[in-house]
Chains A and B, each alone.
Chain A
Amino acid sequence: MGGQSGPTMDSGDFIDESDYKSSAQAVKSSKTIQGGSSSLSGSESGKMMVGNGGPDSYEVVFVKDNVSVHPTQNASERISGRLRLIKQGASLFMTWIPYTVKGGGRQGSSIMKSAEKDRNLYTIRAVSLAEMRSIRRHTPPFGLQYIIIVLTSGLAFPPLYFHTGGVREFLSTLRNHALLVRSNDDSNVYLVNDVQDPLQRSLTSLELTEVTPVAVVVEPPPIVTKKDETVQPVEESPASTSMQTSVYRQGPRREASREIINVLEKFSMVTKFARDTTAHLFGESRLLGNSEMDFDRGPMRLRNEGSVSKSTGELPPVDGAQEPVKDGKEAAAKDEGKDTKKAQDEESEKQKRIANEEASTNVGSFELVDGTKNDTPALVWGRARPPPLGHEEWVTFLDREGRVVDSKALKKRVFHGGVEPNLRPELWKFLLGHYKFDSTYAERNALVSSKREEYKVLQAQWKTVSEDQAKRFAKFRERKHRVEKDVIRTDRTIPFYEGDDNRNVELLRDILVTYSFYNFDLGYCQGMSDLLSPILYVMEDESEAFWCFAALMERMAPNFHRDQNGMQAQLSALSKLVQLLDTPLHDYFKQNECLNYFFCFRWILICFKREFDYNDVLRLWEVLWSHYLSEHFHLYMCVAILKRHRRKIMDEQMEFDTLLKFINELSGHIELESTLRDTEALCLFAGEKGAACIPPGTPPSLPVVEVDPFAVSLESSQNL
C-alpha cells in the first residue's frame, strides 16, 4: 500500500492513528498493520493507555471490531469497522472507523471510489458523549444485535450492528464513564446524561416507546472471493456473516436514483439508505403513512463531506479531519478550560459538570452543546469542511474557452467548501446566474462591458431627474427617500461601509434606486439593502454588483411582493417540513397557535443575513446559492435550528411572543458549520418527502412559467 495509495481516504483507520504523532507509537504497538488493513490482535475490547497521563493523554476504554453499518439490506454492501470509546480528561468520545479496503488503489474503478465514499460517509469521528441523547439496544432473537444512537440535535447515526456480540459490554463500559439511565418504559432504551429531566418526559419527546422492534433479517450473504478487493479486519475470525461485511458493494447504484429527484442523484445511495433504514426500523407503512413519522425515531446521521471530488476525481481528500482522537482532544481541551478541577471521582465530576453547565445555560442537559451557549462547534465529530475553492482548482473546472465543464461538480464543491474570498467576485456571478455556466471567457467579457453600458443607461434614468422635475414626481422622491433611510443603517459597523460620507454607502443607494427603476413594479422594499450589501462588498464594482443583485432578485422578488405570496409559500413549506421532520414540535406549534411561523420571517426574507456575522453570511450564501442538495436548503436550515432548540421551546412552553423573542435573540449565537451539517443531514434524510413539502415556484426557485405543461417541466429540469 504505502506509496501506492498515499494519504487517501481508504487508508481510514491507519491514517487516523499515524497522523496523531504523539500517540502513534503506542497505538501501533497494539495493532498489526498489514497491507493497509489494520487489525487488532489480542483482546478485542482491551484497554490501552496512551501518553503520560497529562492533559494530552487519552485512553481507549473500549474497542470492538466487526461493528458494521448496513447501507442497504444487501449484505454485500455492508461496511464493517471498529467501534471505540476513547476517554480524554473528563470527556468520553465514541468513534467508528470503517476498515480499509485493500487493493485497486484510489485511482481505480469507480466502484472502488464509491466504496470509499460510502466509508467516509458513515465514519463516525469522535462524537462526544455529551452530544448523545439516547442509545437504543436491539437484540432480536434471530440476527444481529445492533444499537441506534440518537444525538441531542435530534439526528442519529445509522444502526451499528455488532457481529461478534458485545452490546452489553459496550453499554456497561459507557455506564462506567457517563450517566446512563435505563428507561423504565422500555428496558432497551438508555438515556445518556439525563440527569435533570423527568424520564417520562424524555421518553414522550423521543417517542421511542412507540417504536416496534423489528427483527432484523440477516440474509445469508453471498460469498465474495475477490481477495484483492477485500480486507480482513481481524485475525480472530468472527462469525461467517461478518466476513462479508467488509466487502464493498459491487453493483451499480444507479437504480435507486430513478425514484429520486434529480438534485439528489449523486446521493441516491444515501437517500436509499435513509428510506431503507427507516422502513427497516419502523415498517414501510409507517414511513409512507408519514403522519406519525418523527425524525427522532428513525433518523440517521449522514455525512458526505468526504466526497470532495471534482468530475475528475483527482483531488486528494482532505485529511485534516481524519483524526478522531485529535478531534476528541480538542474538544476535551475546551471542556477542561471550563472546569479546571481535576477529576478525582470521575462519575461525580461528570455529573457535576453537567449540572454546572445546565445551571449556566438553563437549558436541558440534552442541550449541553447548544449553540447559544458558546461559539464552539456543537458537533465535534465529522470531517472538517474541505478548504474553500481557490483559483488554481477553479481553472481545472473550465475548458480551454472558459466554459464550466461540469457545473454540478462545481456546485457540489462550493456547497461543501465554499469559495476563497479572492475568487468570490468571479464565482458568485455564476452562482447567482449573472454568468451562464456554459459561457466562454470571450462571452463573459463581452457581457461585462455590454451590461456596464446598460447599467449606465438605467442609472441615468433617475440621475437626470432635475430638482424641479422631482418636485412633481412624488413616487420617485418617496422611493429615493426610502432607500436612503435604509442604506445609512445597513452594515455600517463593517469597515467597508463605516464612517461618514462613505462612498460604498452611496453605491448601495445608487444601485438600489437604479434597481427600483429597472424593476419599477417591485420597487424598493426593506430587506433589499441587506441582500445587496454583501454582494457589493464582494464585487467592489457598481455595475457587476447591480447585475448580480438583479439576478438574485429574479429568485427573491416574491419575498417582497405586496401580497407576501413568496413569504407565505416558504412559511407554509417550512410548516410542512417541520411536520415531516419533527411531528411533536409541529404539534406543539399548532397547540400554541404558532403555525404561521412568523417568528422565522426574518430568517427567510433575508436568508439569515441578520443571524450571522458578515463572513459567515458570505459562506452561508454560497452554500445556499449552490442549490446543490435543494434550492430550499434555507428552509431545512430553519428546521435544523428549530430542532436544536426544540426541547427548550417546549419545556419552557414558549408562546408566539416568547418564541419570537427567543428566535430573534439567537442572532449571533448560531454556530454555522454544525448547523450546516445538521441541515445537510436533515435534507438528505427528508429526501423526496421533504421536496414534496415545497411546491414548485416557491422562492428562491425561479417562478414557474405558466405555459403549456411540457414547457414547464422542461424549465424545472433546467433549474435543477
Chain B
Amino acid sequence: MSARKRTLLKVIILGDSGVGKTSLMNQYVNKKFSNQYKATIGADFLTKEVQVEDRLVTMQIWDTAGQERFQSLGVAFYRGADCCVLVYDVNVMKSFDNLDNWREEFLIQASPSDPENFPFVVLGNKVDVDGGNSRVVSEKKAKAWCAAKGGIPYFETSAKEDFNVDAAFQCIAKNALKNETEEEIYLPDTIDVNASRVPKASGCEC
C-alpha cells in the first residue's frame, strides 16, 4: 500500500435517463453546464483530485447510460466502486420511484463485499426548474426514503445553477474514502492488486 501515494476512489452515478447525471459530473469536475449533453451511450468517466480531510485523493466519477435496458453492462462498469450516487429529477416522479431499482441493480452487479453498509448518496437534481413550481417529489419524501435505506445522505442540487454540487461531491468523496479504507483493512494485499481497483500511477491520469 505504501507504493500508492494517492488513493483512487471510484464513484458510479446512476439514475434514469435525463435526470442530469452527465451534467452533475461536468459541473463538478469542469465547472461547466450545457443543456445539450448527448445521451450517454455506454459509459465514460472524469477524474478529479480532491482533498478529503487530510488526504489528497483522485475521484474517478463514472457516468453511465440511464436507460435500464443497458443495465447488463453494469457488471463491467460497477466493479470496484467505492460509492454509488443515485440521482433523480425532482420534477419527475418516475425517476424517484426508480431509485429502488437502481440501488438493487447496483448491489447485484457490483456485488460489494459488505452490501449492507455500502455507501450510497442520493441527489435530487433540477431543483431550479420553473422556480420549483413543477416539482413533484418533496424533500420530505426523498429524505424518508433515504432514512428507510439505512440513512443515505441526501442532497438537493441543480447542476445548471451549480447549487449544492460541490457539497454533494465532498460528501460522496468522504463516504467513498471511508469505504475504501475499510476495505483496505479487511482485504489482504494480494487481492488489492486487483486490476480494476488499483490503477498504476500511470492509470489515473487522463
Contacts and interface: CB of A to CB of B under 8 A. Distances in A.
Interface string A38-79: 000000000000000000000000000000000000000000
Given A526-B17, A526-B67, A602 B41 contact: yes
B65 A526 contact: yes
Interface string B2-42: 00000000000000011000000000000000011111011
B178 to A, nearest CB: 22
A592 B67 contact: no
Interface string A468-507: 0000000000100110011001101100000000000000
Which residue of B37, B202, B203 has the most chain A CB atoms within 10 A of its CB atom? B203
Given A526-B41, A605-B41, A606-B41, A655 B196 contact: yes
B69 A593 contact: no
Given A493-B36, A593-B196, A598-B77, A562 B41 contact: no
B44 interface: yes
B196 A564 contact: no
B67 to A, nearest CB: 5
Nearest to B38: A489
Interface in A532-565: 560-564
A486 B39 contact: yes
A525 B67 contact: yes
B206 interface: yes
A664 to B, nearest CB: 5
A479 to B, nearest CB: 12
Given A658-B203, A661-B44, A564 B72 contact: yes
A656 interface: yes
A636 B184 CA distance: 42
A661 B46 CA distance: 9
Contacts of A599: 42
Interface string A589-609: 000110010110110011000
Interface in A576-626: 592-593, 596, 598-599, 601-602, 605-606, 610
A661 B196 contact: no
Nearest to A522: B69
Given A478-B94, A525-B67, A602 B42 contact: yes
B45 interface: yes
Given A489-B37, A564-B70, A601-B41, 6 more contacts: A486-B17, A527-B39, A610-B41, A656-B76, A657-B203, A661-B45
A216 interface: no
Contacts of A560: 69
Given A598-B76, A653-B200, A656-B76, A664 B195 contact: no
A706 B93 CA distance: 43
A335 interface: no
B66 interface: yes
B17 A485 contact: yes
A514 interface: no
Interface of B: 17-18, 35-39, 41-45, 60, 65-67, 69-70, 72-73, 76-77, 92, 94, 195-196, 199-200, 202-203, 206
B100 to A, nearest CB: 16
A485 B95 CA distance: 13
A490 B206 CA distance: 26
A401 interface: no
Contact of B45 (A563, A655, A657): A657
A713 B87 CA distance: 49
A529 interface: yes
Contact of B44 (A478, A655, A656, A664): A664
15 contacts: A486-B39, A493-B36, A526-B39, A526-B66, A526-B67, A526-B69, A527-B41, A598-B77, A602-B42, A657-B199, A658-B199, A658-B203, A660-B43, A661-B45, A664-B44
B34 to A, nearest CB: 9
A596 B199 CA distance: 19
Contacts of A259: none
A210 interface: no
B195 A598 contact: no
Contacts of A593: 195-196
Interface of A: 478, 481-482, 485-486, 489-490, 492-493, 525-527, 529-530, 560-564, 592-593, 596, 598-599, 601-602, 605-606, 610, 652-658, 660-661, 664
Nearest to B8: A657
A490 B40 CA distance: 11
A332 to B, nearest CB: 35
Contacts of A606: 41
Contacts of B70: 526, 564
Contacts of B17: 482, 485-486, 526
A660 B206 CA distance: 11
Contact of B195 (A482, A490, A562, A655): A655
Nearest to A563: B72
A529 B39 CA distance: 10
A543 B155 CA distance: 45
Contacts of A486: 17-18, 39
Which 5 residue pairs across A and B have the least CB separation, nearest first? A485-B18, A601-B42, A602-B41, A602-B42, A526-B67
B43 A655 contact: no
Contacts of B196: 593, 655-657
Contacts of A656: 76, 195-196
A596 B72 CA distance: 12
Nearest to B94: A478
A529 B18 CA distance: 14
A214 to B, nearest CB: 40
A606 B67 CA distance: 15
A486 B16 CA distance: 12
Contacts of A562: 69
Contacts of B65: 526
Nearest to A490: B38
Nearest to B79: A656
A309 to B, nearest CB: 38
Contacts of B94: 478, 481
A660 B76 CA distance: 11
A600 B203 CA distance: 19
Nearest to B203: A658
Contacts of B203: 653-655, 657-658
B192 to A, nearest CB: 15
A525 B77 contact: no
B1 to A, nearest CB: 19
Nearest to A597: B76
Contacts of B92: 481
A120 B3 CA distance: 58
B95 to A, nearest CB: 10
Nearest to B75: A596
Nearest to B40: A526
Contact of B42 (A489, A490, A592, A598): A598
Contacts of A652: 202
A653 B202 contact: yes
A605 to B, nearest CB: 6
A489 B36 contact: yes
Nearest to A492: B36
B105 to A, nearest CB: 13
B12 to A, nearest CB: 12
Which residue of A489, A526, A593, A652 has the most chain B CB atoms within 10 A of its CB atom? A526
B4 to A, nearest CB: 15
Contacts of B35: 489
Contacts of A601: 41-43, 73
Contacts of A592: 195
B38 A482 contact: no
A170 B109 CA distance: 59
Contacts of A478: 94
Nearest to B34: A489
A610 B39 CA distance: 11
A490 B17 CA distance: 14
A599 B45 CA distance: 12
Contacts of B42: 598-599, 601-602, 605, 660, 664
Given A482-B17, A489-B39, A610-B41, A657 B60 contact: yes
